[in-house]
Chains A and B, each alone.
Chain A
Amino acid sequence: MSAAGRSRFAGLLWVSPWLVGLCVFFLAPMGLGAYYSMTNYSMLEPPLWVGLDNYTSLLKDDVFKQAVLNTIIYAAFVIPLSVVLALAIAGLLDVDSRLSRLVRVLVFTPTVVPLVASAMIWLWLFNGDHGLINAFLHMIGISGPNWLGERGFAMGALVIMALWSIGQPVVIYLAALQDVPRELYEAGQLDGMGPIRRFVHVAMPSIAPAVFFNVIIQTITAWQVFAAPYIMTEGGPDRSTYFYSHYLYDNAFLFQRMGYASAMAWVQLMLIAVCILAIYAVTRKLWSTDT
Chain B
Amino acid sequence: MSESRSSLSGALDISRRASLGVIAASAAGFALFGPRPRQDVPKDRIVLDYWEKWTGAEGLAMQRLVDRFNASQSEIFVRYLSIGSIDQKAMIAVAGRSPPDILGLWSFNIPSFAEAGALMPLDELAAKSGIASANYAQAVWPMLTHRDQLFSLISTCGTIALYINDDRLAEAGLADAPAPATIEELDALSEALIERRPTGDIEKLGFIHTDPGWWSWLWGYHFGGSLLDETTGTATANAPENVRAYEWVQSYPKTYGSRELIKFQSGVGFYGTAQAPFLTGRVGLTIQGPWMANLIQAFAPDLNYRVVPMPTISSIADPSRPVGLVDGDVLTIPAGAREPEASFAFIAWMQEQKQIEEIATAHAKNSPLTSVSDAFIAGHPNRGITAHNAIAASDRAFRFPKTRVWPRYVSEFDAAFQRLWLLQDEPASMLTSINARAQVALDQAAAMRARRHG
Contact = CB atoms under 8 A, between A and B. Distances in A.
A146 B118 CA distance: 44
Contacts of A3: 4-5, 8
Interface stretch (B344-352, B377-385, B400-408): B400-408
B116 interface: yes
A149 B405 contact: no
A254 B407 contact: yes
A130 interface: yes
Centre residue among B8, B91, B263, B405 by max chain A CB count within 10 A: B263
A128 B201 CA distance: 11
B262 A150 contact: yes
A131 B262 CA distance: 14
Given A45-B118, A48-B451, A129-B267, 12 more contacts: A14-B15, A42-B112, A44-B116, A127-B267, A129-B201, A130-B267, A146-B262, A150-B262, A150-B422, A151-B424, A237-B419, A255-B408
Contacts of B88: 253
A237 B116 contact: no
Nearest to A2: B5
Given A3-B5, A48-B452, A149 B116 contact: no
B419 A238 contact: yes
B363 to A, nearest CB: 25
Nearest to B406: A255
B415 A149 contact: no
Interface in B411-426: 411, 414-416, 418-419, 422, 424
Contacts of B117: 44-45
Contacts of A253: 85, 88, 91
A148 B266 contact: yes
A10 B116 contact: no
B31 interface: no
B12 A42 contact: no
Interface residues of B, number: 41
B25 interface: no
B424 A238 contact: yes
A7 B422 contact: no
A45 B418 contact: no
Centre residue among B94, B113, B266 by max chain A CB count within 10 A: B266
B325 to A, nearest CB: 20
B336 to A, nearest CB: 11
Contacts of A10: 11-12, 15
B77 to A, nearest CB: 28
A239 B265 contact: no
B244 to A, nearest CB: 22
Nearest to B112: A256
Interface string A1-45: 001001100100010000000000000000000000000101111
Interface in B83-132: 85, 88, 91-92, 94-95, 112-113, 116-118
Contact of B92 (A43, A151, A254): A43
Contacts of A131: 266
A8 to B, nearest CB: 11
B415 A236 contact: yes
B114 to A, nearest CB: 10
A6 B218 CA distance: 71
A250 interface: yes
Centre residue among A45, A130, A150, A242 by max chain B CB count within 10 A: A45
Interface of B: 4-5, 8, 11-12, 15, 85, 88, 91-92, 94-95, 112-113, 116-118, 201, 259, 262-268, 404-405, 407-408, 411, 414-416, 418-419, 422, 424, 448, 451-452
Contacts, number: 91
Nearest to A252: B88
* Main secondary structure on A side of the interface with B: loop
Contacts of B418: 236-238
B118 A256 contact: no
A44 B419 contact: no
Given A43-B92, A129-B263, A255 B407 contact: yes
Contacts of A43: 91-92, 94-95
A137 B454 CA distance: 63
A146 B266 CA distance: 8
Size class of the A contact interface (CB-based, 8 Å)? 20 to 34
Given A6-B12, A128-B263, A254 B411 contact: yes
8 contacts: A3-B4, A10-B15, A44-B113, A48-B452, A127-B266, A129-B263, A253-B91, A255-B411
Interface string A143-178: 000101111000000000000000000000000000
Interface in A80-102: none
A44 B91 contact: yes
B415 A238 contact: yes
Contacts of B416: 238
Centre residue among A10, A149, A239 by max chain B CB count within 10 A: A149
Contacts of A255: 405, 407-408, 411
A43 B407 CA distance: 16
Given A3-B5, A44-B94, A45-B452, A239 B415 contact: yes
A43 B201 CA distance: 49
A122 B286 CA distance: 28
A44 B422 contact: no
B98 to A, nearest CB: 13
A25 to B, nearest CB: 16
A44 B267 contact: no
Contacts of A6: 8, 12
Contact of A256 (B404, B414, B451): B404
The 4 closest A-B pairs by CB, nearest first: A129-B267, A44-B116, A128-B266, A149-B262
A133 B259 CA distance: 17
Interface string A118-141: 000000000111110000000000
Contacts of B264: 129
A249 to B, nearest CB: 10
Contacts of A256: 91, 112, 404, 407
Contacts of A130: 267
Contacts of B113: 44
A127 B268 CA distance: 10
Nearest to A41: B95
Contacts of A7: 8
A150 to B, nearest CB: 7
B15 A151 contact: no
A206 to B, nearest CB: 40
A174 B418 CA distance: 44
Contacts of B201: 129
B266 to A, nearest CB: 4
A151 B201 CA distance: 21
B240 to A, nearest CB: 24
